[in-house]
Amino acid sequence: MKPLAGHKVAVLGNMAERPLARYLASLGAELDGAVESASFVIDDLGLEATAHLPIPSTAVHVSVTTFGSGGPHSHWRGGELVASATGGALRVTGEPDLPPVKEAGEACTFHADMVAACGAMAAHFARGRHGEGQHVDVSIQQVAFSRNTNGVLVRQFDQRKLHRAGGALAYGKATVRAIWKLADGWCFHALMTGRLGAPANQALSDWMDEAGMDNPLRGMDWLSYNRSTLPAETRATWEAAIAAFFASRTKADIATEGLRRGINACVVNEPADVLRDPHLAARQFFDAETGLPERFVSFRQGAAASPAPAIHAGERPGPLSGVKVLDFAWALVGSITTKTLGDLGADVVKIESRTRPDLSRLDVQVSASQPGNLDDKPWFAHLNSSKRSLTLNLKEPVSRQILDPLIEWADVVVENFSPGTMAKLGLDYDSLSARNPGIVMVSGSVYGQTGPLAQQWGVDGTGGALSGRTYLTGYPDRDPVIPGAVPYGDVIVPFVMAASVSAALEHRRQTGIGCHIDAAMYEICVQQMRGYLAAARRGERPQRSGNADPGVLFQDVFPAAGEDRWVAISLFDEEDRAKLAAIAGDNVADWTATRDERAIVEQLQAAGIAAGVVQDAQDLVDKDPQLASRGALVQLDHPLLGPFGHIATPLRLSRDAFVPYRAPRMGEHCHEVARTICGLGPDDLARLESLGVFN
């Protein structure tokens, strides 16, 4: 299924090899269109630099630049390192005793291109309704900022800042180690909270016992474990014992015995390991002529509905106004997917359960939140704007009186459970499409819906470790570090899912054909590693290189005046090098170390040198005029937490602007949904209440 077959893309600037171009091509678009006749125009130049071109009014025009079009810094020079610095990702990546270090490859740029794909496909869908094109504007800085959910909320609520934690993950109140040295390499492993992590945590404890290792985890009630509230001294004791255990294991042990035991650990792969991965081979991921990843998602085409389901403009603004979404999703991947669809105008009904609440309703990360309260978590509020909440006991057969009308109502179903879970509930794609021909279903998972690892459970760090991102992030003489102490796969996969949903909906409008979309975090993270995989295919062995980049003449992070203050500088040619030497002399670090960071950047940018402050959460929220001009935080009034800044979906559309609304309380819309969508009256509602359906 190629939803963009027949569409031509005009590629401007240096976009030909960018992920956005590859994504559009993967959907069937042709990348040699002339501007005058293009269906899509993509550029890395910005709206101002392309304003003179004869772009048709019906074209979807997408610009992806470091700072976006318009605003006080739109004219600044940038690039990957500067975007990461000014967007906050760089600040929290690396060891605390070393300068911040960039993630492997063009991480922020790849993320921005996937956001741009989402905006392009939403505008494409809207064009199918009203016939007009529009400009989609994406700032790589703003996209990088949007990953800082934890850092932004702890800053807003507790005036705290997250810091670099090397091979650990910072969750607000807790820092949890996740990268462990093995006898012959490294692995990723993190103890997870409550029911979500209990089986894997117990499996690790059992393995430590059987190996005769010291085990302070023994006897722990893992259902009561909360990573945010475990005493720091207890965590230190646990982690010392876990480190000793992993140091006695090999990569082969983790990939075989660890996998069999289900300890939620995976090997930190090198690029060559990725190329010979049997799971990717089974999914035919490298079967293109190039031997490199070309596919972003898999489409399984359904039967045609006749007539094609119609979508009419809804009451809310946005390119997806009128689209109806049934949301079975949870955690970050699913929540951000449906947040994005909802923010862009879709009507999203989120199915929840009080017996198995979303992790983001449980984690106590700030002082305003309390254990046991499912409605006072700003993390959930950030991730779940523009949705209605319906609590439903899916194991109660009578719940189908609510669920079946919702399936018939929906245009889209979103889920990110372990593959097979929806089938057990009678909610797999074949069952849904039998009731609602033409429905579009999207499933997000770590490994995809098929292949030998499909049933294995994983998290954001799993995608990073398996794809090579973790191995290649850090300094050459140190261990790898978490590639971004802010999520990566968890926040990129949703935009790929949302983009593919919009493309599928427009394809359905024209053909009546629905589909099932399979999005695998592992594969999407591997897409970001494409350049390193090409090097490995040539027989090279890419290694960690700090802040250097093979495509940039010179770049690094330099100290500024003050504690843990830094600036990022990139030089793209010899002219840039000469300009910097004329300003800073022979020793750049000596020149920067005594100067204010913002003064340094202003001076260098004025000279035409790409530079940016390595910003922390306070800088991002309070001091950055470019982010403020783009509305990177949107004020929404929460019923328990009051008004606070929520991270906005990071794109701008010139015609179909969108307006998000606050996240729901648990089950806030049960009766409203049952009445208005399912057609139930007061007696029906009372009966279902008595049976515990709305749990």
| 261-265, 357-361, 605-609: which is most confident | 605-609
Among residues 84, 79, 154, which one has the least CA distance to residue 483? 84
DSSP code for 441: E
SS3 label, residue 68 = coil
- Banded model confidence at residue 363, pLDDT cuts 50, 70, 90: confident
Cβ count within 10 A of residue 289: 6
Average of pLDDT values for 610-620?
A: 97
Which token pair is 690?
Answer: 């008595």
SS3 label, residue 448 = coil
One-letter amino acid for residue 252 of the chain? A
Tens digits of residue pLDDT in 627-683:
999 999 999 999 999 999 999 999 999 999 999 999 999 999 999 999 999 999 999
Highest CATH level, class, for 157-274: alpha beta
pLDDT for the residue 457: 78
Instruction: Round to whole Å and give the CA distance between 333 and 493.
Output: 6
pLDDT for the residue 180: 98
Backbone angles phi, psi at 385, to 5 degrees: -65, 160
Instruction: Round to whole Å and give the CA distance between 274 and 536.
Output: 10
- Banded model confidence at residue 485, pLDDT cuts 50, 70, 90: low
Average of pLDDT values for 433-448?
A: 97
Which token pair is 262?
Answer: 């289900």
Contact in structure between 487 and 493 (CB atoms under 8 Å): no
Residue ranges of domains in the chain: 157-274, 298-529+669-690
Instruction: Round to whole Å and give the CA distance between 140 and 348.
Output: 27
pLDDT for the residue 226: 84
Tens digits of residue pLDDT in 141-180:
999 999 999 899 999 999 999 889 999 987 667 788 999 9
Instruction: Round to whole Å and give the CA distance between 228 and 230.
Output: 6
Say whether pLDDT at 550 is over 80: yes
Q: What pTM did the predictor assign?
A: 0.96
Say whether pLDDT at 568 is over 90: yes
Which token pair is 517?
Answer: 């979309």
Instruction: Round to whole Å and give the CA distance between 245 and 154.
Output: 33
pLDDT for the residue 271: 98
Comparing 457-466, 597-606, 630-639, 658-667, which segment has the lowest mean pLDDT? 457-466
Percent pLDDT > 70 in the chain is 99
Q: Strand 566-571: give its sheet, edge to edge.
A: 554-559, 566-571, 610-613
pLDDT for the residue 172: 61
Torsion of CA 83, 88, 91, 93, to 10 degrees: -90
Tens digits of residue pLDDT in 101-121:
999 999 999 999 999 999 999
DSSP for 523-567, written as a single string: HHHHHHTHHHHHHHHTT------TT--TTSSEEEEEE-SSTT-EE
Comparing 27-36, 155-164, 477-486, 680-689, which segment has the lowest mean pLDDT? 477-486
Tens digits of residue pLDDT in 170-217:
766 778 899 999 999 999 998 988 777 899 999 999 999 999 999 999
Of 1.10.10.10, 3.30.300.160, 3.30.2350.10, 3.40.50.10540, the CATH number of 298-529+669-690 is 3.40.50.10540
Say whether pLDDT at 36 is over 90: yes
Going by C-beta distance under 8 Å and a sequence separation of 6 or more, which residues neighbour residue 256? none
Say whether pLDDT at 37 is over 90: yes
Tens digits of residue pLDDT in 128-142:
999 999 999 999 999
Going by C-beta distance under 8 Å and a sequence separation of 6 or more, which residues neighbour residue 202? 222
